[in-house]
Amino acid sequence: MLFNIHSLEWDKQLCEFFGIPMEILPHVRSSSEIYGLMEAGALEGVPISGCSGDQSAALVGQMCFQIGQAKNTYGTGCFLLCNTCHKCVFSDHGLLTTVAYKLGRDKPVYYALEGSVAIAGAVIRWLRDNLGIIKTSEEMEKLAKEVGTSYGSYFVPAFLGLYAPYWEPSARGIICGLTQFTNKCHIAFAALEAVCFHIREILDAMNRDCGIPLSHLQVDGGMTSNKILMQLQADILYIPVVKPLMPETTALGAGAAEGVDVWRLEPEDLSAVTMERFEPQINAEESEICYSTWKKAVMKSMGWVTTQSPESGDPSVFCSLPLGFFIVSSMAMLIRARYISGIP
C-alpha cells in the first residue's frame, strides 16, 4: 500500500501518512534482472534473477503479453488478471489495479486489472473436512459427474465474506434451492458451479472496465485437473477455456528472467504449451438463466453479519479476523484511491 504504481517508487506522502520511514524499505527493482549471486551452498554462483508475485508470474507463464489477454489461477482461492498493457486502468466495477510485470531494468512496465475470489479449492476442502461429503478432493469430479446438474441448488461459499467485485464482509455462505431430492452429488456440482459463477462476475466487470470482451480464458492451477469444472467454466462464461500443458504456470513465469536462458516464453510458443480447449456446450440463453439465478443467491448471502450476530456473541468482539481484515484493507485502499485521485 506504499508503492506508487505510476512513478514505480515508494510514495513519500503515503509513507509519511502511515508513519513509515522510507529508509527501511527495500530498493525497487524490475521483475526480471540479476539481483545477485548465491554465495554459499549447493547453489553457489547461481544468479538470483526473478522476482514476481504469484499472480503476475502466472500471467507471464501463460504468455498473456497482449492487451486484453487474461488468465485465471484456480487454487485455494481464484485470481483473474487481465493485461491492460502500458495503460493504468482504474476499475469502476470492484476490481483492483496493479503492476503486472516489468521484464527488465530498461523494459516498460505493464499493468493489469485483478479480481480475487476468496474460496475456490477451499470449498472442496470444506466439503471434505467439515461435512464429510467426500474423502478425497478427487471424489468431487466423480460425484458431480454422476448427476451432471445441481438440480436447482446454488451454493455461495462466502465463508470469509465476498471479495471482488462486491467487497462485502457481511456476507456468509449459503446453499439455497434445496428440495427433498437434493443429495450430496448435487451439492458437489453446485460447489463447482459456484467457483465458475464467481469468475463470471469478475470477467463481466473486466469486460466493462476494459471495453474489450475476452475471446477466451487461459487457466492454470491445481483445480484445472477437474474436467467437469473446466467444462462448467466454459459453459458459464460462454467462451472457450484454454488449459496449458503444465498447470503450475506460476513457476514457469517466475523462471523467465532476463539474462538467464532457462527457457523461452514467447507469444509464438503459446500453441506448444496448450493441452486442452473446452468449448461451451450449452446455449447462451441457458447460461444466462443460470447466471441470473446465481446472482439472486448472492444477494441473499449478504447482510448476515451484524453487530448482534450470533457468531460474534458480545458486540465488543464483533470484529472477527476476516471482517477486521476487510475493514482495515478497505480503509487503506480508500485512502490510497483518494490520494491518487487527488481527493482531499
Which domains does the chain possess? Answer: 53-121+193-301 (3.30.420.40)
Q: Are 259 and 34 in contact (CB under 8 A)?
A: yes
pLDDT value for 134? 94
Q: Say which residue, 249 or 241, is predicted with more confidence.
A: 241
Question: Is the pLDDT confidence value at 319 over 80?
Answer: no
pLDDT value for 247? 61
Bridge partners for 218 per DSSP: 71, 242
pLDDT value for 32? 85
Q: Are 69 and 80 in contact (CB under 8 A)?
A: no
Grid coordinates of 31: 521483475
Q: Say which residue, 257 or 191, is predicted with more confidence.
A: 191
Question: Is the pLDDT confidence value at 329 over 80?
Answer: no
pLDDT value for 327? 46
pLDDT value for 326? 47
Categorize the per-residue pLDDT at 321 as very low, low, confident or very high, splitting at 50, 70 and 90: very low
Q: pLDDT by residue (tens digit) across 59-79?
A: 888 888 889 999 999 999 999
pLDDT value for 18? 95
Question: Is the pLDDT confidence value at 206 over 90?
Answer: yes
Q: Say which residue, 49 or 97, is predicted with more confidence.
A: 97
**Rounded mean pLDDT of 20-38?**
92
Question: Is the pLDDT confidence value at 41 over 60?
Answer: yes
Question: Is the pLDDT confidence value at 3 over 80?
Answer: yes
Mean pLDDT of the chain: 85
Highest mean pLDDT among 192-201, 280-289, 298-307, 332-341: 192-201
pLDDT value for 256? 59
**Rounded mean pLDDT of 281-306?**
93
Percentage of the residues of the chain whose pLDDT score is greater than 90? 63
